[in-house]
Chains A and B, each alone.
Chain A
Amino acid sequence: MSGQGAHLDNSVWMRAVVMGGIILTIGIVLFGALAIGVAGQKQIAWDDAETAYHEAEHDYEVAYENYTIALAEFETGNTTLTQADLDELHDEYEDMHHAEEEAHHDEIKAHLSYLSYRVSGITVLLMSISYASFIGVGGFLNASKPNADHGDGHDDHDEHHGSSTPIVFAFGIMLFLIGFPDFVIACKALLSSEVTADVSMMALSMVGLATIVVAIANWWFEDLPFTGSGEQIATSYPFEGEHIRKVGLWVFIMSEIMVFATFFSSYLRMRTEWCTDWAIRDGVEACADVPEGTVVTASDLLRYDVATLMPGAINTFALIISSYTIVLALKTAKDTNWKPSTGFMGKLMPTRKAAVRNYLIATLALGSLFIVLKLVEWSHLVAEGFDIGTVQGSIFYIATGAHGLHVFIGLLVMLYLVFKSDTVGFDENNAQGIEYFGLYWHFVDLAWVVIFPAFYLY
């Protein structure tokens, strides 16, 4: 791919910086509304529920103590209490027990409700900071380059220009990963004085991150003026005549299938051996002597209640809808006979360029919703004691986390596509960017088609 095609002024790149500012503003507003506004109210409700629970717990303990003392006295005959009095005390402590259970249930519900808003607000803020810094820094780096460096339309359209960007990008990832273990320890050191970090390795990781950002910015710099001419074609068997980038993407997806297959197979291997409640109730012979609740999986905590299953279910629908919106973006970009709809959709998408951009924004929003709900769901599971410390927790968080990371990386790429659709625009000639990214996005959806039933429903 090359930088041939339309002339681009530096001011175009400054729009990426503006876009970053808009995203950050939206993130801060949503953080204020969700994590401070609503979560503040929810915290008050949670505090009240907690107080009510402790009071109910105390009342129950007192009632139970009264009953046991009365029962002991009644059995030794050292009391004036009758059987009816004793029954009354029994009923009273039973009522207190029910009230305590109810108060405990309300307290958990209030806690999870508070967590939902708090975590979603913080996630939105962190995501908006990531988005803003990613698109903003990339745009600023390219805007800082001299105008003469940009594609000016005088290149030979049939000539292929090699790009060093993927190699620089891979080198950045290598540096980042070399220092990554210490990077994690350094993050812990920021939170605890008992942990000391190797600063030199952390610095290496930071250099890696900076290299990645520079490489990505340069990648955009080369791709933005791309008009579709000069797409490299494979010349040898078995991909003869096919676009090399598309082939590369499919080979990449092939390797990704293997990555997710390892998660899935290790889960399946362990799962077939676990005596889950489901296996016990189903009469699996090997689990005959195992009491229920010995092995708790994420699906045990999620699938039986609408409220707990809802984030995962909404995420499934969000990914499917986002797969459809990106297909619509590609279809619209390629449609030379595109005409605006009438009514509300016509106002929302008055031109082909606006329609492509808005479909991509919708995909971005749905993908972001996926990440927010994923972290809300994780916070609920951790609050219920299902953390990464168990084998079940480990495989669940690693597999769903790896998938979430793929979604997040896809969203970063999508930011650039939104930027390109808003500036240069996509049409029937240069829509490959959407098509090839779409393949990745559909794969992420496909992986979820396997992960959701295996980890949430089974």
Chain B
Amino acid sequence: MSATQSLKGRKVVLHDMCLRDGMHAKREQIGVEQMVKVACALDDAGIPYIQVTHGAGLGGNSLQHGFALASNEEYIAAVASRMKQAKVSVLLIPGLGTMKELQAAFDAGARSVHVATHCTEADTSPQHIAFARKLGMDTTGFLMMAHLNDPAGIAEQGKLMESYGAHTVYVTDSAGYMLPEDVRARVVALREALDPATAIGFHGHHNLGMGIANSIAAIEAGATRIDGSVAGLGAGAGNTPLEVFAAVCERMGMDTGVDLFKLMDVAEDIIVPMMDHLVRVDRESLTLGFAGVYSTFLLHARRAAERTGVSARDILVELGRKKMIGGQEDMIMDTAMTMAKARGLAGAA
């Protein structure tokens, strides 16, 4: 039996990221009204979960990650009050976001949360996962930069998150580095380790153009929840483009419950005109995927390149070599300045 046939009838839960991961690509400059417009269109297209926060999630408003046009609570409240069927979700990275902020997001209407840690540091999330469960939220443990831990390690970390109370554990390809076999191996390992009642999800980035293929590989291996963003609006070369993924699912006979043509219209008529730059695989976003670097580093590296005269690609490769991870955006300017000094460039100071 071919893989295509075996997936027939499988249910897949889609989670849109363009109002959270997409904030990175928009330098956090999506207004409340625009968010509401996008979210309403996604809701109408039948997307069941819509993530709405600053790109770095709760607590994200900062000099390190940029300041959005409104607070997370303002965005969440404005969107949540308008949803007919979709649930609003948030991102929470311990060390940046706190339980106080999760409570505030819940009060504003958020009902689902990705509690995210680096793929080896799940034990920084017990408080937050337990608190999300106490609030009654749909709770995901989100293992970022998953290419930096092997399948057995991912299974162990996922098991920890499950023990704290996560309903779902995600393999998160933050660098858009993984190939289908990498995704499959990690999802299989999780599926073997976790309780059958615990769901598995996959969050891809399209830096090597593998977003769709990786998501399909994840489903074949047992994942049931897939993150993507309409028109791919997300960090780096964007997330798995959700309308494309939905079309592929439909061709393969999977059940996403979304209205494909409406989703295509959201992508074309609303999201693409919003883009400051065309979110696509280009020289720098390809470098992210090739070198295994956190996708959010893209625009920061371009800014550091402007200031120091070191090329963004060289900066990104060096960050990959130095094993910098999500959250270390300060190390981009620092690394660029150190490289500029070594090269005798004026931008070193």
Partners in one complex: no
Interface residues of A (CB under 8 A from B): none
